[in-house]
């Protein structure tokens, strides 16, 4: 029997997955099943979920069953997948265990199960081995496809010269295939498969036994869709036609590539704010609360959908066009995963805090005429990916985590912008005092005066505690003061003096999340 706490957590999980599923579906995305990991022995559980190591794996399975039942009841497609550490480790190939990699591996297990049920011959040799590859195509088989290679890595669309044998007809030339840079596997996308079979049938009808093609030079490659016609954007219609999950008909989901600098324009633009959901997935928000998502691919390029870009005013679109680059046909990243494969990731506590702060900043931005609470730059994306729960709760690792959290949650507060917004509402004596205030005190005063939070001091408390934990554990204050500062922080968290670092970490991060959520509610009420 599950504890009340776990049951409540499961219910919350069902609610958030259902909402995410419905939103994705509403937006027209190709939503696939959610994978729920379960285990058949304690060792696999402990090794796959090191942060919960020691929890009874049967209890976890029961928790997963409860989520599964809730989702099925809500009509959300979900399936149980069995995790074995040895196979997971192989798939990770040296990568780290995290919520994101676990979710990806779960999605991979589901796609594997699907692939096995639609077995298809589509495996070529390594792209480096020969220039011309020979692949047998069976024109009677159809199947679903994923951008992820069966080895777990993202595939890239390539246009190498290939030779296919289909229905005794030899089809050769430059054609789209999905290649994996990690294991060298080459797969034939459904659209290529269909094109080849069409060519083979036509050749047979005409009594021809050899056909040569060059997809890059064909008309299809030059297709222009009816979006963003006012700006001369470069994109490849072949991406839309051949990358799994994109829609080749309307062209809405055509990936358009930009140099990373494109984001800088929005960091500084008064009508936009940038929010990162992970290090490869973010969104640009406008003052009206509208947003456009973007991804960062493995080459560090920014990707946006052509159909989304169409919503930008002409000026912004032309500004973006300056940073527009040719497609490198590589779109595998969390942006693609979240939007096309709709892989749901169970958020870690760290991500929850970041999300809560991001939502507060978007709320402030839209309710207070474009006030940007946070400085958002390329470094912030790096910090988001650096923030991790310590593996071992040593003083050093704990101190490092407090430091990253401080950089993300406190040092990014745009003190000058907050003060500038606040100053006109203050009496002259308070305005004088404002000048000498640090970021946290200025934000506290802003919450009190502008957002009308009577309990501003209480709301800010977890941030002050975080600040103190950082200076104490990173030895930024004299040694004789460190112990007293630690004790004071622990006391303000409502914990006993001998509390473990792990409990302190959990408590402070939960309180931070809650504080940002309450600040957001206060800001929203004020704006109404």
- What residues line the site for Zn ion (CB under 5 A)? 149, 151, 153, 180, 182-183, 185
Supply angle C-alpha 73, 78, 81, rounded to 5.
Answer: 135
Residue among 162 and 356 whose Cβ is closer to Zn ion: 162
Residue among 299 and 499 whose Cβ is closer to Zn ion: 299
Residue among 93 and 382 whose Cβ is closer to Zn ion: 93
Distance CA 363, CA 27 (A): 22
Residue among 183 and 378 whose Cβ is closer to Zn ion: 183
Residue among 178 and 211 whose Cβ is closer to Zn ion: 178
- CB of residue 93 to Zn ion, shortest distance in Å: 10
- CB of residue 107 to Zn ion, shortest distance in Å: 15
User: In terms of Cα–Cα distance, which of 519, 386, 375 is closest to 444?
Assistant: 519
- CB of residue 332 to Zn ion, shortest distance in Å: 11
- Which pair of structure tokens corresponds to residue 259? 């140099």
Residue among 70 and 106 whose Cβ is closer to Zn ion: 106
Distance CA 225, CA 251 (A): 6
> Roughly what angle, to the nearest 10 degrees, separates helices 349-367 and 501-527?
20
Residue among 123 and 208 whose Cβ is closer to Zn ion: 123
Please check whether residue 327 is in contact with residue 236, taking contact to mean a CB–CB distance below 8 angstroms.
Answer: yes
- CB of residue 92 to Zn ion, shortest distance in Å: 13
- Which pair of structure tokens corresponds to residue 216? 């890059």
Distance CA 501, CA 288 (A): 42
Please check whether residue 274 is in contact with residue 263, taking contact to mean a CB–CB distance below 8 angstroms.
Answer: yes
User: Could you identify the residue written with the tokens 């006993």?
Assistant: 496
- CB of residue 445 to Zn ion, shortest distance in Å: 55
Residue 85 backbone phi and psi in degrees, to 5: -55, -45
- CB of residue 326 to Zn ion, shortest distance in Å: 25
Question: Distances from the Cα of 176 to the Cαs of 130, 160, 196, 502, in angstroms?
Answer: 16, 7, 11, 50
- CB of residue 295 to Zn ion, shortest distance in Å: 20
- CB of residue 199 to Zn ion, shortest distance in Å: 27
User: In terms of Cα–Cα distance, which of 31, 32, 28 is closest to 252?
Assistant: 28
Query: Looking at the DSSP assignment, which residues form a beta bridge with residue 296?
Result: 302
Residue among 212 and 299 whose Cβ is closer to Zn ion: 299
Residue 408, burial from CB neighbour count under 10 angstroms (0-12, 13-18, 19+): buried
């Amino acid at each position: 029997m599950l504890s009340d706490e776990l049951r409540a957590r499961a219910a919350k999980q069902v609610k958030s997955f259902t909402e995410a599923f419905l939103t994705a579906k509403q937006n027209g995305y190709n939503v696939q099943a959610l994978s729920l990991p379960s285990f058949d022995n304690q060792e696999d559980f402990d090794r796959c979920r090191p942060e919960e190591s020691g929890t009874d794996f049967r209890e976890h399975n029961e928790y997963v069953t409860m989520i599964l039942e809730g989702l099925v009841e809500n009509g959300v497609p979900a399936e149980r997948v069995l995790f074995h550490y040895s196979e997971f480790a192989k798939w990770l190939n040296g990568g780290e265990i995290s919520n994101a990699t676990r979710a990806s591996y779960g999605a991979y297990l589901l796609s594997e199960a699907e692939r096995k049920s639609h077995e298809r011959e589509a495996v070529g040799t390594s792209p480096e081995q020969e220039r011309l590859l020979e692949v047998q195509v069976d024109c009677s088989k159809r199947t679903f496809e994923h951008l992820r290679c069966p080895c777990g890595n993202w595939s890239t669309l390539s246009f190498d010269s290939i030779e296919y044998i289909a229905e005794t007809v030899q089809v050769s030339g430059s054609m789209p295939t999905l290649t994996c840079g990690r294991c060298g596997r080459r797969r034939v996308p459904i659209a290529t498969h269909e094109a080849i079979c069409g060519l083979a049938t036509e050749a047979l009808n005409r009594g021809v036994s050899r056909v040569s093609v060059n997809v890059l030079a064909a008309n299809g490659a030059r297709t222009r869709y009816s979006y963003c016609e006012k700006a001369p954007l470069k994109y490849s219609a072949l991406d839309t036609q051949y990358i799994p999950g994109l829609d080749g008909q309307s062209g809405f989901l055509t990936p358009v590539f930009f140099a990373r600098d494109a984001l800088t324009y929005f960091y500084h633009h008064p009508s936009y704010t940038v929010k990162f959901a992970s290090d490869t997935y973010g969104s640009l928000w406008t003052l009206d609360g509208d947003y456009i998502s973007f991804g960062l691919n493995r080459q560090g390029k920014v990707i946006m959908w052509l159909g989304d870009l169409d919503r930008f005013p002409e000026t912004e679109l032309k500004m973006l066009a300056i940073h527009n680059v040719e497609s490198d046909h590589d779109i595998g990243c969390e942006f693609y995963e979240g939007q096309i494969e709709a892989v749901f990731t169970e958020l870690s506590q760290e991500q929850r805090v970041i999300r809560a702060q991001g939502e507060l900043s978007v709320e402030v931005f839209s309710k207070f005429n474009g006030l940007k609470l946070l400085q958002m730059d390329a470094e912030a994306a790096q910090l988001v990916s650096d923030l991790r729960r310590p593996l071992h709760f040593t003083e050093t690792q704990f101190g490092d985590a407090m430091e990253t959290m401080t950089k993300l949650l406190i040092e990014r507060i745009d003190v000058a912008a907050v003060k500038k917004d606040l100053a006109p509402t203050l009496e002259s004596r308070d305005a004088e005092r404002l000048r000498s205030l640090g970021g946290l005190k200025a934000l506290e005063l802003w919450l009190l005066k502008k957002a009308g939070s009577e309990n501003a001091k209480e709301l800010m408390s977890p941030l002050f505690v975080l600040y103190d934990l950082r200076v104490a554990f990173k030895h930024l204050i004299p040694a004789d003061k460190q112990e007293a500062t630690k004790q004071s922080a622990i006391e303000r968290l409502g914990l006993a003096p001998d509390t473990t670092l792990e409990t302190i970490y959990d408590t402070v991060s939960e309180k931070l999340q809650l504080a940002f959520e309450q600040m957001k509610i206060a800001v929203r009420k004020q704006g109404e």
